[in-house]
Amino acid sequence: MEPAPVFRTPRKRVAYYYDHDVGNFSYGLGHPMKPHRMRMTHNLVTNYGLHKKMDILRPKRATRDQMTRFHTDEYVDFLHRVTPESVHELTSEGTRYLIGEDCPAFDGLYEFCSISAGGSLAAAARLNSGESDVAINWAGGLHHAKKREASGFCYINDIVLAILELLRVHLRVLYIDIDIHHGDGVEEAFYTTDRVMTASFHKFGDFFPGTGDVRDIGLKKGKNYSVNVPLRDGIGDLEFGNIFRPVISHIMEWYRPGAVVLQCGADSLAGDKLGCFNLSMRGHADCVAFMQTFDVPLITLGGGGYTVRNVARTWTYETGLLVGQKLDEDLPFNDYIQYFGPEYKLEVPPTSMDNLNSREYLDNLRTKIIDNLRNLPSAPGVQMQETPRTTLNPADVEVSDDEDSDLDERISQRLRDAHVQRWDDELSSDEAEADGEGLESAWAAATSRRSSSASTGKRRPGIMDPLKPYEHDLALKYISQNGAGAAKGKGRAKRTFFAARAAKPVLADLHLDEDEDEDDQDHRHHLNSRIGTRSGRTRAYFAGDGSTVPGDTTPLSDVEMGSPALSAAAVGSTNGHSRANGRW
């Protein structure tokens, strides 16, 4: 793939969101998801000096009210109270919400979710205010979470929450997903609206979550606004770029979004423990660079990625692209330098694995997708209402206990926090009044396609040895015309995100802690199956045009960037979104 004109794009104002506490959490011994990868990334970012070229901000953590703009009250309340000790006492609820092996009830689960979601909400608010052109939250991008279910290591869908915030200001929002797994949670949430277009480039077949057929294009008002690019094992930089660029170019030309959300899941990199693509770091980053060439506000999020040293390399490199800084190939000294050996380079090279994506297959796939896009009306419009301001100006806040203070004097963090809290309290009555102003919803029936290879029981070719997936059948009910609803699905057996362990990889990942040791030395996990529904379960799509009132954010100084317990304001509540049971 020819290199993108990265450093010839106009200089962007970049906001970077990071909460130091995000690296303190652990999914458990042997679990492939490692939250400390965000701390590794941040440490590398700062040691490259990238913090000097962007606003480093610590977002306020998402509240229960903010999470329930999309998720059900019962589900969020369950996440708040469940602990490793109480999960056995809540067996029925844990089963209902799919808390288990894939999505364990670890210590600090709710806090972890609030950090991830808070960063994405703050990023959306920052773009809405016009203060930044690009906002980064590597702790976000958890695209599998459903309205009332955890799935695929994801509990709260920060992406959906961020998009709902963007819709307050922007007529249309484009979501792009380059994680190796289908972005099913986000697609499902906006499957019946034309205000959000989703485009997912993913592995399809006998592979988690098993959704994302090229024929799944949306329903009702959202028909042709869901774009799925199903790929096979071993796709490399050249082939990926040759389908990514034309598809996205056509979408940008015809859809003309007001903002773009890009999920940069790093499990599509070569050598990922759960992936089977063959993208190099630069091939992955070329997607980010390509989106920079469009003069459209951009949110960049994290996602999957289970060879953590390569995740940190890639997200650091992509941060450099976003601020227009070319990085030295030799890694600077950092707190985790020993884990990047023996090469100590800012590079993730491709491997020699076979590419199962033939030129004919990719040409036919690209043609079919572009033909579907030709059916789109140019830039669909919607009626917009006046929205409240999206950021907090400290000068607008009245603080009785400090109103006579010298405005030239720096205020303390405690007082800044008090300003933020007071602003949130003042909004509560307005938010309550707006709660009944929801949009009308309509119902219809449809059936989601399933992977043909999974239904026939064929084994996925490649370097891993998955278990045979269960037969399953997806039944969907959905809403239309920007409403929300729920419906009952057919019974299926419960599936898991990773179900098999194979031999030790050729290049074992380096160990960061005791949790990493067992996982990396003895085996590697494989994502090979799909989550199923139980009889009587429900699912829903949320096609939002929600209203939120965010606050301000607090910049971090060079000294504070590595310290916890800083505060900032978050985003307020939505207007009148009915919440209904939903499932993947």
Catalytic residues: 144
Instruction: Give the residues across from 557 on adjacent strands.
Output: none
- Cα dihedral sign for 101, 102, 103, 106? positive
Which segments of 408-545 does DSSP mark as H helices, in order?
413-434, 452-455, 514-522
Torsion angles phi and psi, residue 243, rounded to 5: -105, -30
3-state secondary structure 194-237: CCEEEEEEEECCCCCCCCCCCCCCCCHHHCCCEEEEEECCCCCH
Give the contacts of 41 (CB within 8 A, at least 6 positions apart): 138, 311, 312, 315, 316, 319
Torsion angles phi and psi, residue 57, rounded to 5: -125, 145
Task: Give CA–CA dist 371/248, Å, rounded.
Answer: 13
Q: Which helix (H) or strand (E) holds 488?
A: strand 487-488
Angstrom distances, CA of residue 5 to CA of 92, 286, 288, 292, 517: 53, 9, 11, 9, 40
Q: Contact at 8 Å (CB) between 174 and 135?
A: no
Instruction: Give the residues across from 260 on adjacent strands.
Output: 174, 298
Residue 540 burial (CB < 10 Å; 0-12/13-18/19+)? Answer: buried
Read off the DSSP letter of residue 561. Answer: G
